[in-house]
Copies of this chain bind each other. A is one copy, B any other.
């Protein structure tokens, strides 16, 4: 897999970055998963760390929200620079203006509520990933740094029916 300086075209010989999963994410989703985390107490969502990382969880429980970073492993197609978010009526946007999992580096990022920690397992609110997803990192979500009151919805605001679309973005089941 190394030394592939030629033949790949788009990528150059810049140094690669190598990570090793710190554990695995357990979810009820074996075949299908929502687009985004659903903030619900229902369902069994757990970050299962390798035992040697357990002590790195100390005092994490004091945070209401956490960031979960993971490798989007169940994708078998190449990233395109333009994407059509499935809920946005054919609107085309750049991949970096989207949360599409099919991106140049398939790093997933979700903000979830922390429900509890036992040993090397962190229970969370709903996560939008398949069972068995490799876990890369956990970070505390800190109000002052991460919660932006004046954040916006970007291009989503320009679409008709934005409120309805936001239900899709949030992965909330709805009948209309």
Contacts and interface: CB of A to CB of B under 8 A. Distances in A.
Interface residues of A, number: 76
Contact of A60 (B62, B96, B105, B170): B96
A90 interface: no
A77 interface: no
A56 B62 CA distance: 37
Contact of A19 (B19, B21, B53, B94): B19
A157 to B, nearest CB: 7
Given A104-B137, A137-B104, A99 B60 contact: no
Interface of A: 1-2, 10-12, 14-22, 36-37, 50, 52-60, 62-65, 67, 69, 71, 81-82, 92-99, 103-105, 107, 109, 111, 134, 136-158, 166, 169-170
The 9 closest A-B pairs by CB, nearest first: A58-B94, A63-B154, A60-B97, A62-B154, A56-B81, A143-B151, A19-B105, A55-B81, A96-B138
